[in-house]
Amino acid sequence: MNAAAPPDDTLIRIRGLTTVLNGKKVFDALDLDIPRGKVTAIMGPSGTGKTTLLKHITGQMHGDAGQILVDGQNVPELSREALYALREKIGYLFQNSALLTDFDVFENVAFPLRQHTKLPEVLIRNLVLTKLQAVGLRGAAGLMPSELSGGMARRVALARAIVFDPMLILYDEPFVGLDPIALNQVLKLIRTLNETLGITSVLVAHELDAIKQVADHIFLIANGKVVAQGDPRTIADDGSPWTRQFFGGEADGPVPFQYPAGDYAEALGFPRRGA
């Protein structure tokens, strides 16, 4: 753990986060530090609470114990107003884009501006078109969300997430369901945004190859804890059974393939051996 790192280098500092959902321990005293200005990937087997972790960072969910410091503020203790003020500085890209179906592309991107600023119409127009140009969809400004493909919708959502020039963008499964061309476009966008604007990015994803191209740092989460972390090129070599199974894609290992169940032979009605 790089707990000793100076606070300026750490944008999100999670300490001792413990969350119990439906009797299952999702996080068990989780410690995590996300560096400022870098692209950080959070990986892990399905169902380990990666999206839940993002929801904790944005204050949509609260853990049972622990601290989540975002830019020095402890999220679980923030008042509504302070939380909303913090959220204005965070962009969030949903897995399914979550565009507002009532509005066209332009209005979707303009939505945060209209809600939080009283900018003149000309300025809003320029800002929105700039962001749409950045994701390559300036020509689609007049389309409705229902007319967009999945990749286009995700790029519009990205334009909306960055319209306020946030300090942090959280990507929830940004690569799911994209064809190789769209995937590369999104990868390039994430990289460009990080390099040109210095935006801290946190990615939650499964796609190892894609993440290797874009991430500076990877956390591997399993059983409610960070089980491995490091550079994308070296993390697979740390020798722990978790990384071997996860990055090697093996069925056997610490992560069981079978959901907990009773005895197989008994379930099929065969007499138990030795009985």
Partner 1 sequence: MNARIERDNIVTQALGQIGNCGVFLLQILAAIPRSLRYGRETVRQLWFVGAMSLIIIMTCGLFVGMVLELQLYHVLSMFGSTSMSGTVVAIATYRELGPVVTALLFAGRAGTAITAEIGLMRATDQISAMELMAVDPLAYVAAPRFLAGLVAMPLLCCVFCALAVFGGHLVGVSWLGIDNGTFWSNMTATVDVWQDIVSGVVWKSLAFGAVVALIAVFQGYTAPPTSEGVAYATTRTVVASSIAILALDFVLTAFLM
- Shortest Cβ distance from residue 169 to partner 1 (Å)? 11
**Residue 65 or 85 with smaller CB distance to partner 1:** 85
φ/ψ (deg, to 5) at 84: -65, -35
**Residue 171 or 246 with smaller CB distance to partner 1:** 171
SS3 254: coil
- Shortest Cβ distance from residue 58 to partner 1 (Å)? 6
Residues with Cβ within 8 Å of residue 239, at least 6 apart in sequence: none
Which residues bind to partner 1, rule: CB under 8 A?
A: 22, 58, 60, 84-85, 87-88, 90, 92, 94-96, 98-101, 111-112, 115-116, 160
SS3 148: coil
**Residue 163 or 236 with smaller CB distance to partner 1:** 163
Q: How far apart are CA 235 and CA 80, in angstroms?
A: 39
- Shortest Cβ distance from residue 83 to partner 1 (Å)? 8
Residue 130 sits at the vertex; the CA angle it makes with 167 and 141, to the nearest 5 degrees, is 115
**Could you tell me where the DSSP H helices lie in the chain?**
50-57, 80-87, 105-116, 121-134, 150-162, 180-197, 208-214, 241-248, 264-267
- Shortest Cβ distance from residue 153 to partner 1 (Å)? 10
- Shortest Cβ distance from residue 36 to partner 1 (Å)? 20
SS3 198: coil
**Residue 84 or 270 with smaller CB distance to partner 1:** 84
**Residue 98 or 182 with smaller CB distance to partner 1:** 98
